[in-house]
Amino acid sequence: MKGQRSATPNPNHKHPKSTKSITISSTFKQTKKTLISNIPKNLKSAKTLENPSSPQQSLNWVPLNLSKSELFLPLTLPTGQTFRWKQTGVFQFTGVVKSHLVSLKQLDNGNGDVVFFVHKSNDEFKAREVLNDFLNVGISLSEMWATFSASDLRFSEVASCLGGARVLRQDPVECLMQFLCSSNNNIGRITKMVDFISSLGEYLGTVEGFDFHKFPSLERLSLVSEDELRAAGFGYRAKYIVGTVKALQSKPGGGAEWLVSLRSLDLNEVIEALCTLPGVGPKVASCIALFSLDQHHAVPVDTHVWKIATRYLMPELATARLTPKLCIRVAEAFVSKFGKYAGWAQTVLFIAELPSQKALLPTNSETPQKQKSVRTKVKESATKLSPFIFEEPNS
Banded pLDDT at 185 (limits 50, 70, 90): confident
Contact 169, 136 (CB under 8 A): yes
Tell me: the pLDDT tens digits for 201-216? Answer: 999 999 999 999 999 9
Banded pLDDT at 378 (limits 50, 70, 90): very low
Cα separation, 62 vs 128, in Å, equals 10
| Burial class of 284 by CB neighbour count within 10 A (0 to 12, 13 to 18, 19+) | buried
The closest alpha carbon to 43, from 99, 93, 108, belongs to 93
Mean pLDDT of the chain: 83
Q: Would you please indicate which residues are annotated as catalytic (active-site) residues?
A: 283
Single-letter amino acid code for the residue at 221:
L
Predicted pLDDT at 33:
56
Percentage of residues in the chain with pLDDT exceeding 90? 67
Residue 70, number of CB atoms within 10 A of its CB: 21
Contact 312, 154 (CB under 8 A): yes
Residue 380 has pLDDT above 80, yes or no: no
Contact 63, 117 (CB under 8 A): no
Banded pLDDT at 5 (limits 50, 70, 90): very low
Tell me: the pLDDT tens digits for 87-143? Answer: 999 999 999 999 999 999 999 988 999 999 999 998 989 999 999 999 999 999 999
Contact 33, 378 (CB under 8 A): yes
Torsion, Cα of 65, 49, 166, 116 (10° steps): 30
- Span 232-248, average pLDDT: 97
Residue 40 has pLDDT above 90, yes or no: no
Predicted pLDDT at 41:
53
- Residues 6 or more apart in contact with residue 203 via CB below 8 angstroms: 211, 212, 213
The closest alpha carbon to 142, from 111, 117, 169, 103, belongs to 111
Predicted pLDDT at 39:
54
- CATH code 1.25.40.10 for 23-138: no
Banded pLDDT at 52 (limits 50, 70, 90): very low
Predicted pLDDT at 2:
40
Contact 390, 182 (CB under 8 A): yes
Query: Model-level pTM?
Result: 0.82
Cα separation, 320 vs 348, in Å, equals 24
Predicted pLDDT at 361:
72
Distance of CA 227 to the CA centre of its chain: 30
The closest alpha carbon to 349, from 317, 319, 313, 379, belongs to 313
Beta strands 92-97 and 100-106, pairing class: antiparallel
Tell me: the pLDDT tens digits for 262-309? Answer: 999 999 999 999 999 999 999 999 999 999 999 999 999 988 899 999
Cα separation, 176 vs 5, in Å, equals 34
Banded pLDDT at 29 (limits 50, 70, 90): low
Q: Where do the domains of the chain lie?
A: 23-138
Cα separation, 151 vs 143, in Å, equals 13
Q: What's the CA angle centered on 244, arms 240 and 245, to 5 degrees? A: 120
Tell me: the pLDDT tens digits for 333-349? Answer: 999 999 999 999 999 99
Contact 311, 318 (CB under 8 A): yes
Residue count of the chain = 395
Cα separation, 316 vs 313, in Å, equals 9
